[in-house]
Structures are given as C-alpha cells and as structure tokens.
Amino acid sequence: MGTPAHGSRFVFPLILTLVVGIPVLSLVASADAGQGTNVILITVDTLRADHLGVYGYPRKTSPNLDQFAKEAVVFRKAFSHAPETNPSFSSLMTSHYPHETKVLSVSHLLPPGALTLVQILKANGYQTAAVMSHFTLRRGSGFERGFDVYDDQTEDRVFVRWTTNGPAGPWLERVAPKTTRAAIKWLEGNSRDKFFLWVHYDDPHGPYNPPAPYNTMFAQKPSGGGKNIPVSRDGRGVGGIPPYQLLGDHRDPAHYISQYDGEIRFFDEAFGELLQTIRQLHLLDNSLIIFTSDHGEGMGDHGYYFDHKRFVYNGLIHVPLILRLPGERSVSKEIQSAVAHVDVLPTILDQLGIEAPRGLRGQHLFIPGKEREIFSEGFSSGAKYVLIHNGLKLILSGRSYELYNLRADFAETTNLMKKAVSEAVFSRVIGMKKSLDAIRQHDALKLGKPVIWSIDPETKRMLRSLGYVQ
C-alpha cells in the first residue's frame, strides 16, 4: 500500500470510481494546481460519522457541516487507525500505523524520527499553525514539531465526579467558540501567506456537557419505560456508564446520547462561524480543506457505552472524511470505497505538487483500482488488530478472531466466525489473516520502543481516572 512515485510538478488525472452504475468523476490537477494552495485541516474529537446528517443521522446535529459537504467529496467508508486520539493522529500526520510511530496511547511521545505532514509543508515554504483544544495534544506530546504557532490553550475545566481512583477531573479543553475565535484571529493575520492550519475541536469528547440550549435540543421527556443501565464496573464503559461520564442520577442511555448530540451541534455552530470567515477572506479559492475526526464513541454497540479506547468496532473507528478542493475544482461527490487516514497525507502532497517520502502506508484517495486493505489497531486492555478488505472485516484480539460482512452488516451484529462459512469465504479469511500478520509485524520506521512523554503526577492521575493511563 505504498504511495505511487510522482514529481513535484505534474499533470495527474484523478479518476474517482463511484458505485456501480454511476458515472465516474474525473479530477485533473494541472501542473500549477498546487502553487500557492493553502491547506486547512479541521478535526473533531470523538465524533462518530453516523451521528452527522451528511452520513444519514436523522437528528439535525450538523447543519453547517452538511452544507459544507454539498460542495465537497464525502468518503462514506473512511476509517481511523486507532480508537484513541494521539495514536490516531500519529497515523494521520505521518501516513504510518501507530505500531510504527510508537504512539500506542495518549501518554506516548510522537518521536522526532516520525516525519510529519507539517514538517514536510514547512520545508516547502508554508507558514504553519495549529489551534488545539484537546488536553493530550498539548505542547510536549511531539505533535507541536514543525509548527510556527502551536496554540494549545485548554483553560476550560470540565469537572467530573469522583471514582475509585480519585477525582476524575478536571478534564481540560477549549470549547468550540474559543477554538474558532483563536483560529479566526490567526487567519486574519496570515491569510495572505501560503499556510497550513490545523484546527482541532474537542467538544463531543466526554463528559458530555453542552451549554444551553444545546443540552435540551435533543433531549426527550422520560416515558417511564426508559432503559436504565448501571455504572460500568471496570470504569471504562463495558456494560454500563463510565464513572467519569456520569451526569447526576441519569442512567438512561438515551439521555447521554442526547447530550453527545448536543455537543456535536454546539461544535457545528462554531464550525459554521469558521467557514464563514474562510469565505469572507476569499480562502475557498486557494485552499484545500479536509474535515475528519480521530475516532468515534461507543453508544451501546456491543454493550460498550460512552467510551472509545477498548475496542475496534466500527462505532469507534468509522470516521467522517470530507475533502473540499480549491475554488472551481470543488465538486460534490460521494465515494463508497473504503479509505483511511493514512491516505490523507499523500493526497495532500499530490494536490500541492510536493513529492511524497518513500514507503508511506497510504495512497492517494482518488486513485482507482482494487479495493485497498484497511488496517487499524488498539492497545487498551490488550492489543487488537483489524483488517478490512472487500467488504469483510477481520478482528484479532489475543488468539480470538471475529469476522463481519460489512456490506450486509456494517453494525457488526453477526460474528461469522461463530457460523459455518463457505470454502470461498474461509479461503479469503486465511488470506486476510496473512495480510494482517504481515502488516502488524512490519515496522517501516524502526523508531524503537514507545517513549512516555513528560507528564506531571497530577496530570497522570487525571488521565488514569479517565482510563487513558493504565
């Protein structure tokens, strides 16, 4: 799954093959297409694709994002490579898997040997800035390397209740309106430069605490027959509510989902304001805009509630991915084939006419051909590995395997390993297992062992109480 070789100046026909029966879309990047093109990367923490209107969610959680998607390419089946923030973004920013970047959890440093997108763009004359709102992405995590400006102010404190490990809080973040204001301030002062801007919103991350009116926007009146679930015994969402997510005496999962959706709508309003400024500064004409999230969130699927680190089911690694091309090159299309975060970096470099490093795990999002293999992995509560190929998803956890037909069962309700399968399917599983083993055992970067970055005792206690540090 390497990136095709290409030069710094090119004429490259990009053929997007859509679902059968729909005409193909041809996008052509001219030799000068990337000259002076800005890159704006907008990411949101803990955002499930299937809780957005553009991905079919019935609640109006994302009107501004839905409107943005009407003039962009929407990837229906995009996947992250880990169900945790820092590992996921390590893959997005390097086009390598977490076991190669050595960022296996939020406590692991992104090492200097992992070349990132921002470093490549900086070396090619870009002004670089980031506005971070998630506590684990603050300066010292390694993600700040290559940025001229790395605004990691997380002054908003969300207090949560005590747990058996002590106080699970405060959770530090920067709420969406402040994140947008910081991004707008930077844009207004730098819009005439060729730039890369990464804006990361944290708001859907738990504890779900949207302000009014978003806290009641999707709430439903108790019917008296609502489902109640217990507090999770393991503290991490298996079979019940994680202690750090508790909202008073509420035990009905529908209430928590309403607050999660309220957080998304709260973010969406701020996102709309950021888009308005981008338009007013006439940046749509010369900016490549990418929207995605790091991972999803358990909403009761597989008995896993309001957490994301422990499993690798689709609710946790299926993410939105929306790409808007500059100016008149912008199109409104949907791509049904499976893609992944490692494909973002080579796509950006191709669009800018910048030569990509050798050995990347991803490929251009728009290159046609056979269905690519999608790999993901998680390391909380034991290593878990995923391979998705041609509609099948294989999960390895310890010595146990799960198999799902995503074309018929995207919610992963039926584990085919527990049923009789045809010889053809069995043969495919054997092939997938070999591919899965080859990927997880290959380490292209050879960066050594994971390194825990400097975390003070109070911060470490807070992260442990939230399930981030073992």
**Digit-coded pLDDT (tens) for 406-456:** 999 999 999 999 888 788 888 999 999 999 999 999 999 999 999 987 766
pLDDT band at 154 (very low <50, low <70, confident <90, very high): confident
Q: What is the pLDDT of residue 30?
A: 39
What residue ranges do the domains of the chain occupy?
A: 12-373
Average pLDDT over residues 56-83: 97
pLDDT-derived band at 173, boundaries 50, 70, 90:
confident
Report pLDDT for 225.
57
* pLDDT of amino acid 374: 97
Q: Are 109 and 451 in contact (CB under 8 A)?
A: yes
**pLDDT surpasses 80 at 458:** no
Cα-Cα end-to-end distance for the chain: 33
**Predicted pLDDT at 27:** 41
Q: 49-53, 344-348, 377-381: which has the minimum mean pLDDT?
A: 377-381
Rounded Cα–Cα distance for residues 228 and 248 (Å): 14
Least confident of 165-169, 190-194, 269-273, 366-370: 165-169
pLDDT over 90 (residue 56): yes
Nearest to 106 by CA among 129, 131, 81, 89: 89
Whether the pLDDT of residue 226 is over 90: the answer is no
* Per-residue pLDDT at 163 exceeds 50: no
Residue 26 above 70 pLDDT?
A: no
Higher-pLDDT residue of 408 and 465 is 408
Question: Can you give the pLDDT at residue 34?
Answer: 59
Q: Is the pLDDT of residue 24 over 80?
A: no
Mean pLDDT, rounded, for 286-312: 96
DSSP structure class, residue 134: B
Residues 6+ apart with CB under 8 A from 179: 131, 133, 199, 200, 201, 202, 270
pLDDT at residue 337 is higher than 60: yes
* pLDDT value at 162 more than 50: no
**What pLDDT, on a 0 to 100 scale, did the predictor assign at position 234?**
72
Strands 374-378 and 400-405, sheet pairing: unpaired
Distance in angstroms (rounded) separating the CA atoms of residues 279 and 187: 11
**Quick one: pLDDT at residue 423?**
87
- What is the residue-averaged pLDDT of the chain? 87
pLDDT of residue 170: 58
pLDDT at 221 over 80: no
Residues 6+ apart with CB under 8 A from 269: 64, 176, 177
Question: Does the pLDDT value for residue 6 go beyond 80?
Answer: no
**Residue 98: pLDDT above 80?**
yes
Task: With a cut of 70, say whether residue 467 has pLDDT above it.
Answer: no
Distance CA(177)–CA(270), nearest Å, equals 5
Crossing angle (nearest 10°) for helices 253-280 and 176-190: 10
Q: Which CATH class is domain 12-373?
A: alpha beta
Half-sphere exposure of 37 (CA within 13 A, CB side): 24
Task: Please name the residues in contact with 187: beta carbons below 8 A apart, sequence gap of 6 or more.
Answer: 197, 277, 278, 281, 283
pLDDT at 371: 82
Percent of the chain with pLDDT over 90: 70
Tell me: pLDDT of 91 over 50.
yes
Q: pLDDT-based confidence at 21, cuts 50/70/90?
A: very low
For 25, the 3-state DSSP assignment is: strand
